[in-house]
Amino acid sequence: MPSGALVLGAIASVQVGAAVATTLFARIGPAGTVFERLAFGSLILLAVWRPALRGRSRSELMQAAVFGLVLAAMNLSFYEALHRIPLGIAVALEFVGPLTVALLGSRRARDLAWVAFAAAGILVLTSPSGHTLDGPGVALALLAGCFWGAYIVLNARLGQVFPGVTGLTLGMCVGALAVAPLGLAEGGSELFSVESLLLGGAVGVLSSVIPYSFEVEALRRIATPVFGVLMSLEPAVAALAGFLVVGQPISPRLVIGIALVIVASVGATRGSDEVPVAL
């Protein structure tokens, strides 16, 4: 596959997985859905990569554990946001995290313009329109963005310590264990129903296994700035996935707000060495 197609395939997989996840909320809740996503993702990565812990220092293992806790917090706050606001809006708001990381990697005064574009996009998305946007949902999406920014920084450091996807696998296992009490309390016995397991497994594959594999392969052949620009399309793909999978409407206000966030992300990414990576 062409490199661009791999990146777009990763984006589409993540967002379709998020849209499918929303169909599980009524059954097992956001926390239960996060638990199933991380649990299935962990099992698949463990089976494929079989990471070795022998010879790893306590400091290295602690880095993987912190990464896993941030991963769990990012997914939990994002799914709680999805439970309250549409997918396209949630992803656009969450993109504040990687956008901030990209801007911090730049030293150009003109990059303040991208901050203005992002702020305008957020104002358009959250300002009153035909219906009132849920306040806690907006706050949770922004919180997920903060965790996404931390995830990017920690992921880059983890890649220097662990070979391949060893760090990711260990972190995802820690994340699954961390969110297990909340997931089990919210989902209860319904977590283990056939339909929940099938959908949870699909979310784990679509949102974790496939996109990560595609991104790793794409980054072997594509320049990181180009990768970052392509990743900036994620809010638009999220809105489309929400429309196609669960019937969430696409309004002119949504299109304008997402377009402003994408412009800000493209501009910031082209002037930075940091690249937003989704999981």
- Listed by start position, the domains of the chain span 3-270
pTM for the model stands at 0.84
Could you give the angle at the alpha carbon of 119 between the alpha carbons of 123 and 78, nearest 5°?
Answer: 75
**Comparing C-alpha atoms, which of 127, 134, 131, 121 is closest to residue 93?**
121
Tokens matching residue 207: 């949102």
CA distance 231 to 147: 17
Distances (CA, A) of 96 to 23, 176, 210: 26, 25, 24
In this predicted structure, what is the pLDDT of residue 233? 80
Burial of 114 (0-12, 13-18, 19+ CB in 10 A): buried
The one-digit pLDDT tens for each residue of the chain (279 residues) are 677 788 888 889 999 999 999 999 999 999 999 999 999 989 988 888 787 777 788 888 999 999 999 999 999 999 999 999 988 889 888 888 877 776 676 666 666 777 777 778 877 877 655 556 788 999 999 999 999 888 878 877 877 788 777 888 888 999 999 999 999 999 999 999 999 999 999 999 998 888 877 876 776 677 666 666 777 788 888 888 888 888 888 888 888 888 888 887 777 666 555 444 444
89: phi then psi, degrees, rounded to nearest 5: -65, -40
Do residues 104 and 233 touch, judged by C-beta distance below 8 A?
A: no
